[in-house]
């Protein structure tokens, strides 16, 4: 008979269990493109995180994280937004859980524009307006707000972690704000 206290967060896995699981099934993620919008809903700027990547370099990335066992997609989205943007970002979660795009990451580079050396991951990706102050926690060092034009000019999109610039381009297209 087990005398362990129940796991307070059964969605979390040990490193070994997670690695094993990653070899067996695609892992479900949620990702978010944080945006500042004007009063008519038009995007003014996009928030990109500067973070240490899996390979040790500094790269720009999006809000991103696993959906835990037993957790709803909305709960996972809110938890990861708080994790990456802090408790006072006041994200406005989408009214529908239909993502604007489905990101497919494969362990081998070149299979798709998106790539994750750790795993096959599938990411439901959302645009999320935030109205408060963002204070990145955890491993993210910095959040930059850039206009669509600045994103293009500074070649950030071509160098985002795992190819996520493709997701940002798709987000901008969805918002009617993709520079020519």
In the set 9, 88, 112, 138, which binds a second copy (CB under 8 A)?
Answer: 112
Q: What is the DSSP letter of 148?
A: H
In the set 89, 124, 130, 134, which binds a second copy (CB under 8 A)?
Answer: 124
95 makes contact with a second copy (CB under 8 A) = yes
- Shortest Å, Cβ 133 to a second copy: 17
3 makes contact with a second copy (CB under 8 A) = no
Q: Which stretch binds a second copy (CB under 8 A): 49-57, 132-140, 142-150, 166-174?
A: 166-174
- Shortest Å, Cβ 35 to a second copy: 7
Structure tokens at 152: 């293009």
The candidate with the shortest Cα–Cα distance to 50, out of 169, 138, 175, is 138
Q: Are 119 and 107 in contact (CB under 8 A)?
A: yes
- Shortest Å, Cβ 121 to a second copy: 10
**Between residue 10 and residue 69, which ones bind a second copy under the rule CB under 8 A?**
13, 17-18, 21, 23-28, 35, 37, 39-43, 66-69
Helix (H, G, I), strand (E, B) or coil at 16: helix
Measured CA to CA, the distance from residue 138 to residue 38 in angstroms comes to 29
Residues 6+ apart with CB under 8 A from 143: 34, 47, 48, 49, 50, 85, 134, 136
């Amino acid at each position: 008979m087990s005398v362990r206290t129940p796991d307070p967060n059964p969605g979390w896995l040990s490193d070994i269990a997670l690695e094993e699981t990653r070899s067996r099934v695609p892992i479900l993620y949620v990702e978010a493109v944080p945006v500042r919008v004007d009063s008519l809903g038009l995007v003014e700027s996009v928030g990109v995180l500067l973070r240490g990547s899996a390979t040790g370099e500094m790269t720009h990335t999006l809000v991103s994280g696993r959906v835990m066992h037993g957790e709803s997609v909305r709960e996972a989205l809110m938890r990861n937004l708080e994790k990456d943007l802090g408790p006072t970002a006041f994200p406005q979660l989408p009214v529908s859980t239909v993502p604007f795009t489905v990101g497919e990451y494969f362990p081998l580079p070149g299979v798709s524009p998106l790539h994750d050396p750790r795993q096959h991951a599938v990411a439901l990706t959302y645009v999320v307006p935030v109205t408060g102050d963002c204070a990145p926690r955890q491993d993210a060092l910095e959040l930059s707000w850039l206009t669509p034009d600045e994103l293009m000019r500074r070649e950030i999109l071509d160098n985002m972690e795992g190819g996520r610039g493709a997701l940002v381009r798709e987000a901008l297209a969805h918002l009617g704000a993709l520079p020519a």
